[in-house]
Amino acid sequence: MFYRVDYLFALIAAGFAAGALFSKSAERLPASRLARIFYFVFALLTVLRIATYVFSAVATPPHFVDVAGSLAGDLSNVAFGAAFGFAIRRKDARVFLTEPTLLDAFFLSLAFTYALAGVAKAFAMKPMTDFFTQSGYSVGFLKFIDIAEIFGGMALLLPWARVPVWFGLMIDMFGAVLTHVHNGDPLNDSSGAIILLIKLVAVAILFGLSQRERSPQPSVAQSILRTAAATVLCFCIAFGGSAALRHANPANSTAAPAN
């Protein structure tokens, strides 16, 4: 399914609005219990996405299977926005948003999003090879990105690996957006990467706030500034790295020129 940037933003905004609407009534639920509910929702949607993808990969699926897979992805975006909506009117908003169970739910969804994206690339090597070579990259770099997204996504499930993997995936997503810009592609071609960048930044801010063993605890402003600095660093690495890779690739002379 082709996604537009505004459509994906609308899904997250709709989830936020729905969460804010019901946040008062859900305030009586302890933060830990509400976080477990969100974990169950994200886990269920992830299982559905995996199941529909595997079914589509091994057989010709009926139309409703494709619809179910797309719906699960859409609902994951809605649920992401809803989590922040539910927090908007809670007195313990920080406690809820930094609940380890809720953060695990976010990382679970991100992990399989990247893993499935990597597997999808592996099953579509011909068009992906064409895109990478036309963008000025080597086939070896495509294979590296494919492997990095699969194993990097799965590594998000490991708490000790989340920080270094976050940097790698941020560079990957900035690289994807910059490549489309370099090629003169429409903004909607970067839809998935843009939304994942937003999710990675949001989760990084919450992850920074969740470091409860620190004394004093980091403030929201401190976490935002640290994440912003790390984001700028990732952008600079992606910008310089993508330019260097295109320059170093001997096949670059056959790549399509940028508009």
What tens digit of pLDDT does each residue of 46-100 get? 999 999 888 887 777 677 777 888 899 999 999 999 999 999 989 899 999 999 9
Range of the domain at 143: 124-259
Instruction: Identify whether residues 78 and 142 lie together within a single domain.
Output: no
Same structural domain for residues 133 and 74? no
Tally of structural domains, the chain: 2
Residue 218 binned pLDDT confidence (cut-offs 50, 70, 90): confident
- Note the pLDDT tens digit of each residue in 11-50: 999 999 999 999 888 888 999 999 999 999 999 999 999 9
The CA-CA-CA angle for residues 160, 242, 5, to 5°, reads 75
Q: Please say which residue of 97, 114, 139 terminates a domain.
A: 97
What crossing angle do the helices spanning 125-134 and 139-155 adopt, rounded to 10°?
120
pLDDT bin (cut points 50, 70, 90) of residue 226 is very high
Nearest to 106 by CA among 19, 42, 11, 151: 42
pLDDT tops 80 at residue 256: no
Q: What's the first-to-final CA gap in the chain, in angstroms?
A: 26
In a domain, 119, yes or no: no
Same domain, 30 and 135: no
pLDDT digits (tens, 9 = 90+) for 184-205: 998 888 999 999 999 999 999 9
Does one domain contain both 153 and 71?
Answer: no
User: In whole angstroms, what is the distance from residue 243 CA to residue 251 CA?
Assistant: 14
Q: 74-84, pLDDT tens digit by residue?
A: 999 999 999 99
* pLDDT of res. 215: 59
Looking at the structure, do residues 85 and 209 belong to the same domain, yes or no?
no
Predicted confidence (pLDDT) per residue in 155-174, tens digit: 999 999 999 999 999 999 99
- Residue 253 — very low, low, confident or very high, per pLDDT cuts 50/70/90? very low
> Backbone phi, then psi, for 241, in 5-degree steps?
-65, -45
Same domain, 141 and 194: yes
Residue pLDDT, tens place only, 169-189: 999 999 999 999 999 998 888
214-240: b (≥16 Cβ within 10 Å) or e: eeeebeeeebbeebeebbeebbebbee
Q: Which of 57-66, 118-127, 150-159, 243-252 has the highest mean pLDDT?
A: 150-159
Shared domain check, 87 and 147: no
CA nearest 172: which of 104, 113, 224? 113
User: Does 185 share its domain with 82?
Assistant: no
- Tell whether 64 and 171 lie within a shared domain: no
Residue 231 is predicted with a pLDDT of: 97
Give a yes or no: residue 212 inside a domain: yes
131 shares its domain with 252? yes
Residue 116 falls inside a structural domain: no
Q: How do residues 101-112 score in pLDDT, each as one tens digit?
A: 999 999 999 999
Distance, in Å, from the CA atom of 207 to the CA atom of 223, rounded to the nearest integer, reads 9
Give the single-character DSSP code of 252.
Answer: G
**92 compared with 217, residue with greater pLDDT:** 92
- Cα angle 86, 10, 69 (rounded to 5 degrees) comes to 90
40, HSE (Cβ side, Cα atoms, 13 Å): 6
Residue 86 and residue 142 in one domain: no
Q: Which residue has the tokens 């609005």?
A: 17
Residue 211: is its pLDDT beyond 70?
A: no
Q: Is the pLDDT of residue 2 over 80?
A: no
Tell me, yes or no, whether 107 lies in a domain. Answer: no
- Determine the average pLDDT of the residues in 142-161: 93
